[in-house]
Chain A
Amino acid sequence: MTRTDLEFKYSSSVELPLTGRTVAEKILGRAANTPEAKAGDVLEVEPDLVMSHENTFLVNKTLEELEIGKPWDPEKVVVVLDHRSPANSVQTAAVHSKIRELVRRMGISKFYDVGEGICHQLLVEQKLARPGQLVLGSDSHTTTIGAVGAFGAGIGATDMAGVWATGKTWLKVPETLRVTMSGHLQRAVFPKDIALYLISKLGPSGADYMCVEFDGIFLFDISISGRMVLCNMAAEMGAKAAIAPVDSTFGAWSPECAPENGRACVSDPDAKFRDSIELVAEDIRPMVAGPHKVEAGKSVDEFEDIHIDQAFIGSCTNGRLEDLIAASWVLKGNKVAQGCRLLVAPASRAVLNDALDMGVIQTILAAGGVILPPGCGPCLGAHEGVLGPGEVCISSSNRNFKGRMGSEEAEIYLASPATVAASAIEGKIADPRRWLKIDL
C-alpha cells in the first residue's frame, strides 16, 4: 500500500474512475489541454509559472531579438537575483541593474533582489509553486519544487525567451521512475544521504529524461524540506522532473495551498511506470560522494581521515532551517578545527530569520562558522568561498564537478549538513554520529 492510498486527505469524496495515468501525464496533459496525454507524446504546453535568475539578462536579450517588449503574462514570471548576489564584479553589478530596470518596465512583481534567497527555495517557501502546476525554470534544479506536487523542469535561456514571447513551449511527456523505500532509516541518516545513495545505485544518467516519483510510506517521515532535497538531487540522475505526493504532510505545511482536486496531483494506482525501485532503509549510512562525480557515493567511513580546508553548508539542496538545525546539533559546544573554515549560507531570508530566532545562527558563530548572505554562495564557484588549487571542500550542495567551486585542482565531496559540520570540527571527513553521540 502506498502512502497516497493510506493517507490521501484531499481527494474529492466522489470516487473518480482510475485512468491509469501518472502524475506527470496528468499535469502536462492539463497544461497542453490534452487530457489523454501519455508518456512519449510531444505536447505544446503553457506553463503556470516560469522562473529565471541572473540569466534573465540572456532571456531579455533574446526577447529583444524577437522584438517583443514584455512577457506574455508578467504575473506568471518570477525573477530572482541569487547566483552572484551580492554582485561579485562590475559586470555582474551591471547585469543586476539591467534586470532591476527591466522587471520594473515589464511589470514583473514577483521579483526577489539580493539577499532574499535561492530561486528554488523561494518558489516553495513563498508558495509561488502550487500542487499540480507546470513550472519551468531556466535552472537545472527546478526539479526541486516537485516537493510540493508541482512538475518543475529546467530549460535554457533561449527556451525561456520563447516562453516569455509566446506563453508556450514544447515538452515531451516523460516516463516515470517510481522510487519507494522499505524499513526504517538509521539515526543520523538524512534525506541527502538517501539521495546520494540512490544516485550511487542509479548513476548520473539513470533517470535521464524521466520523472522521478517518490512515493510510499517512507515519506511519512520526510518533511517538505527533506522532499526538496530528494527532488533537487533528481537533477543529478538526469531527471527532467521529480515529484512527491500531495499528502497530509503537505496539508499540515500549507493548508491554504491544498488542491481542490487532489487526484490531479498523484499517479493513479494503475498508472504505468517505466520502472520501480525500492530502497532498503537499513542499507543507508551517512554518505559522502566525491570527488568530481556525484555518483561516487559511499558510506562516510570509507572517506574518513581525508583532510579538508573548507566546509560549506547551504545551497538549494541543503540550506534550509532543518539543515542548519542538524548542523547546530553537531556544532553545539564544539569548535571548527584550526586551518579549516566553515561557511554557512542560509537558503533564504526567512531561513536566516528563523535560524536566528532559534539560536541556531548563534551556535554556528560560536563554533567559529562564517555566515554568508542568503543565496547560492560558494555552490557555483562564482564568488564567496572560491576554492584554490589543491584545496579540499566538503559541501552540502549538489555538484562536485571538477572546477565547480573554483580551481580545477580543488576537490569537492558532497554530504549532508550534519556530516559537513562534523567534518568542520575534525578538519577531516568525519562521521556525524560521533558528534551526535549515536552508538555505531
Chain B
Amino acid sequence: MISEGRVWTFGDEINTDLIIPGRYLDNYDPSHLAKHAMEGASREFAAGVRPGDIIVAGRNFGCGSSREQAVTALKSAGVSAVVAKSFARIFYRNAINLGMPVLESQEAQSSFSDGDRAVIDLDLGCLSSMDGLKKTYLKEVPPNAKKILASGGLVPYLRQKTDGQRKTQ
C-alpha cells in the first residue's frame, strides 16, 4: 500500500474538537465534514488539502471524543495517512476501521516540513520525501490492525469473513 501527497505538519495534542468541532456534527455527510476538517488547528487546511496528502503530527493525535467523524472529515478531505508520534487509542481504532493508515514515528514531525512532497510505503514501513533527501521509518502496525487495513476497513473485513463463512458452509 502506497500513499503519496504533500505533507501538512501539526503539533502535539491535536484533539477531535480541533479536527472537527461538535457544532458541525449534526450533518453526517462526509463532504460537509471535509469542508471543516482541522478547522480549529489550521485556517488553510480544508481549502488547501488535496487527495493523497499526508498529515505529520506530534504526540497524542486525535485525543478527546470518540467521534468517528474526525477520521471521516480527514479522509473525505483527501488525507491518505496520518503519521504522528503517538495516537489517542479511540482515534487510532477509528482510523483503522475506516481504512485510513495511522502510523507512529518519533522523528517524522521534526524532519518533515509543510509542503514537502512525500510518499508512504506501508510494506517497507517508511515515509520518504520524493526528492529522496528525507526518510523515516514507521513503527510496525499490529497484526490485527494490519489485517483490517489491508481489507480497506472493518466493513470490508467483516464482509470477507462472513463471505468466507458462507462459502465453507
Given contacts A55-B67, A293-B13, A401-B15, 20 further A-B contacts (CB under 8 A): A55-B66, A58-B68, A89-B26, A92-B26, A140-B64, A155-B93, A156-B97, A159-B97, A161-B155, A205-B59, A238-B60, A380-B65, A381-B22, A381-B23, A382-B26, A399-B15, A401-B17, A401-B18, A402-B40, A408-B40
A403 contacts B68, CB within 8 Å?
Answer: no
Cα distance, A170 to B39, chains bound together (Å) = 32
Shortest Cβ distance from residue A201 to the other chain B in the assembled complex, whole angstroms? 16
User: Is A82 on the interface with B (CB-CB < 8 A)?
Assistant: no
Shortest Cβ distance from residue A54 to the other chain B in the assembled complex, whole angstroms? 8
Interface contact tally, CB-CB below 8 A = 119
Q: Please name all residues of chain A whose beta carbon is closer than 8 Å to the beta carbon of B97 when the two chains form the complex.
A: 156, 158-159, 162
Q: Of the listed stretches B45-53, B83-91, B117-125, name the one at the interface; the rest are far from the partner chain.
A: B83-91
Shortest Cβ distance from residue B148 to the other chain A in the assembled complex, whole angstroms? 9
Partner of A382 from B23, B28, B64, B90 at Cβ < 8 Å: B23
Partner of B155 from A65, A92, A208, A240 at Cβ < 8 Å: A65
Partner of B66 from A62, A92, A154, A406 at Cβ < 8 Å: A154
B25 contacts A382, CB within 8 Å?
Answer: yes
Q: Which of B29-56 contact A (CB under 8 A)?
A: 39-40
What string of 1s and 0s marks CB contacts (under 8 Å) between A378-405 and chain B?
0011100010000000000001011110
A66 contacts B158, CB within 8 Å?
Answer: yes
What string of 1s and 0s marks CB contacts (under 8 Å) between B76-103 and chain A?
0000000000101110011001100000
The listed residue with most B CB atoms (<10 A of its CB), out of A61, A140, A166, is A140
User: Is B63 on the interface with A (CB-CB < 8 A)?
Assistant: yes
User: Is A262 on the interface with B (CB-CB < 8 A)?
Assistant: no
Cα distance, A417 to B162, chains bound together (Å) = 50
Q: Please name all residues of chain A whose beta carbon is closer than 8 Å to the beta carbon of B40 when the two chains form the complex.
A: 401-403, 408
For B, the interface residue count at a CB cutoff of 8 angstroms equals: 38
Cα distance, A154 to B68, chains bound together (Å) = 11
Q: Please name all residues of chain A whose beta carbon is closer than 8 Å to the beta carbon of B153 when the two chains form the complex.
A: 158
Q: Which residue of B lies closest to A408 (CB)?
A: B40
Known A140-B90, A158-B154, A205-B86; contact A95-B26, beta-carbon cutoff 8 A: yes
Cα distance, A140 to B23, chains bound together (Å) = 18
User: Is A38 on the interface with B (CB-CB < 8 A)?
Assistant: no
A403 contacts B21, CB within 8 Å?
Answer: yes
Interface size on A, as a range, is 35 or more
Q: Please name all residues of chain B whose beta carbon is closer than 8 Å to the beta carbon of A62 when the two chains form the complex.
A: 154-155
Cα distance, A238 to B40, chains bound together (Å) = 21
Known A42-B144, A91-B26, A158-B94; contact A238-B68, beta-carbon cutoff 8 A: no
Partner of B94 from A66, A156, A166 at Cβ < 8 Å: A156
User: Is A88 on the interface with B (CB-CB < 8 A)?
Assistant: yes
What string of 1s and 0s marks CB contacts (under 8 Å) between A109-150 and chain B?
000000000000000000000000000001110000000000
Q: Please name all residues of chain A whose beta carbon is closer than 8 Å to the beta carbon of B23 when the two chains form the complex.
A: 381-382, 386, 406
A204 contacts B90, CB within 8 Å?
Answer: no
User: Is A329 on the interface with B (CB-CB < 8 A)?
Assistant: no
Partner of A204 from B26, B27, B63 at Cβ < 8 Å: B63
Cα distance, A251 to B76, chains bound together (Å) = 49
Shortest Cβ distance from residue B147 to the other chain A in the assembled complex, whole angstroms? 10
Q: Please name all residues of chain A whose beta carbon is closer than 8 Å to the beta carbon of B93 when the two chains form the complex.
A: 155-156, 159
